[in-house]
């Protein structure tokens, strides 16, 4: 087994885990805009808990994608081209979601806000589902030919695993979002989020557990099976902490669940990065899909410098905005008399 490609496989697993941990809760909060928040003030509470950080969290996706391109170009090329339409949906979802956060409050009009609320909720759902489906399929396989190209047309990627992976990330994100709200808000929203967290934990973690277990059945090893068991323990701990109002510990336990679950999934998949369902000889693996050692070494140095820095300043951001947000903090919408009345560009006035 070559050393550098293996390290980079671990690095990419870490980047995806970091993405799911961080963007997981802001995707969850996004989905909760429609099903959880009861009025405009509560929606603004929700948005403002993730306001300063969601964009930084999303860069984890770009970094995971970019690192896959740099370290495993053949993996990147086969996975992204095979999943053309689902990834298009993810892109559309991310575009609307990003723009919605910024534009929602820019016009003081309920219809305007309602539209962007839908964009946030649906965008978060579709993005979470699509990323989950793509990740599940890269562990369970796609119909790839010898060149790594998809056979069987635009929907040949579809399988039960795509649905399972989609719901896995949606469910985890929803739960993680509830845990985050319990940690970051105060008052009514905080209590309701905690109650929902306790009540919904078993249901919301079921699909991700199903994905982890099915991968153990396909290609598990002793240590990855142990990781699944440990993840279940972490989930029970999270549930127990949340019940006892220890929101911080519940949040961290769910983080441990994700870490262990993702280790069990990526660990079981290793050394295959993208199996071919047509012929195992076409499997893309850590060794046959990777870049040269020179490039991997260079990127390794860059990652060793860059990643700790990212973690440090992102941690600092969370420290700066550590205060809980509550409905009492939300000011009136800013209305103003425009300096220039509309139609100023009209020919005569």
Verify binding: residue 341, another protein, rule CB under 8 A. Answer: yes
Give the one residue of 5, 18, 24, 65 binding another protein; rule: CB under 8 A. Answer: 65
Residues whose CB is less than 8 angstroms from the CB of residue 258 and which lie 6 or more positions away in sequence, other chains included? 17, 20, 21, 24, 172, 176
Q: Does 223 bind another protein (CB under 8 A)?
A: no
Sign of the C-alpha dihedral, residues 254, 260, 264, 267?
positive
Residues in a beta bridge with 284: 274
Separation of CA 68 from chain center: 16
Q: Binding segment for another protein among 70-78, 168-176, 214-222, 239-247 (CB under 8 A)? A: 70-78
The tokens describing 30, both together, are 């996004």
Judged by CB under 8 A, does residue 20 bind another protein?
Answer: no
Tell me whether residue 252 or residue 310 sits nearer to another protein (CB atom): 310
Residue closer to another protein, measured from CB, 39 or 292: 292
Residue 330's SS3 state is coil
State yes or no: residue 94 binds another protein (CB under 8 A): yes
CB 306 to another protein: min, Å: 4
Query: For residues 40-59, which are near another protein according to CB under 8 A?
Result: 44, 47-48, 51-56, 58-59
85 contributes a contact to another protein by CB under 8 A: yes
Closest contact distance (angstroms) between CB of 74 and another protein is 6
21 binds another protein (CB under 8 A): no
- Which residues, numbered 272-331, are part of the site for another protein (CB under 8 A)? 291-292, 294-295, 298-299, 302-303, 306-307, 310, 313-314, 317, 320-321, 328-331
What number of residues does the chain have? 349
* Residue of 102, 221, 245, 279 that binds another protein (CB under 8 A): 102
Rg of the chain over all Cα atoms, to the nearest angstrom? 22
Residue 1 near another protein by CB under 8 A: no
d(CA 224, CA 209): 13
**Dist. CA 258–CA 28, nearest whole Å:** 14
Q: Which is nearer to another protein, 102 or 221 (CB)?
A: 102
Taking CB under 8 A as the binding criterion, the range among 99-107, 202-210, 230-238, 246-254 that sits at the site for another protein is: 99-107
- Find all residues with CB under 8 Å of 207, minimum gap 6, and list them: 164, 165, 167, 168, 170, 171
Alpha helix ranges (H) inside the chain: 3-35, 40-50, 54-71, 73-82, 84-103, 110-140, 160-184, 188-219, 222-243, 247-269, 293-320
Kindly give, in sequence order, each residue whose CB lies less than 8 Å from that of residue 337, ignoring residues fewer than 6 positions away. Answer: none
Site for another protein in 145-174 (CB under 8 A): 145, 147-151, 153-154
Instruction: Give yes or no for residue 210 binding another protein (CB under 8 A).
Output: no
Query: Cβ closer to another protein: 183 or 268?
Result: 183
């Amino acid at each position: 087994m070559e050393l550098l490609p293996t390290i980079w496989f671990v690095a990419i697993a870490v980047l995806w885990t970091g993405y799911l941990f961080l963007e997981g809760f802001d995707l969850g909060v996004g989905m909760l805009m429609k099903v959880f928040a009861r009025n405009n003030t509560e929606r603004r509470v929700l948005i403002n808990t993730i306001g300063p950080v969601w964009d930084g969290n999303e860069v984890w996706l770009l970094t995971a994608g970019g690192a896959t391109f740099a370290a495993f170009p053949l993996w990147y090329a086969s996975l992204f081209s095979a999943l053309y339409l689902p990834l298009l949906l993810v892109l559309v979802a991310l575009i609307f979601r990003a723009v919605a956060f910024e534009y929602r409050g820019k016009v003081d009009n309920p219809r305007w806000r309602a539209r962007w609320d839908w964009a946030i909720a649906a965008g978060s759902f579709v993005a979470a589902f699509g990323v989950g489906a793509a990740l599940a399929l890269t562990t369970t396989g796609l119909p790839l030919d010898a060149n790594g190209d998809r056979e069987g047309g635009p929907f040949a990627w579809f399988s039960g695993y795509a649905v399972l992976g989609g719901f896995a990330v949606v469910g985890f994100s929803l739960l993680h979002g509830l845990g985050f709200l319990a940690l970051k808000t105060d008052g009514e929203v905080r209590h309701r989020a905690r109650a929902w967290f306790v009540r919904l934990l078993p249901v919301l973690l079921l699909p991700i557990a199903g994905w982890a277990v099915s991968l153990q059945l396909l290609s598990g090893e002793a240590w990855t099976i142990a990781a699944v068991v440990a993840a279940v323990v972490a989930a029970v701990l999270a549930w127990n902490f949340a019940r006892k109002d220890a929101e911080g510990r519940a949040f961290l336990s769910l983080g441990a669940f994700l870490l262990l679950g993702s280790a069990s999934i990526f660990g079981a998949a290793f050394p295959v990065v993208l199996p071919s369902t047509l012929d195992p000889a076409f499997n893309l693996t850590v060794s046959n899909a990777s870049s040269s050692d020179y490039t991997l070494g260079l990127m390794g140095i860059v990652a060793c410098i860059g990643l700790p820095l990212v973690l440090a300043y992102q941690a600092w951001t969370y420290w700066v905005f550590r205060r809980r947000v509550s409905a009492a903090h939300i000011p009136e919408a800013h209305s103003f008399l425009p300096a220039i009345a509309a139609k100023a560009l009209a020919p005569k006035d």
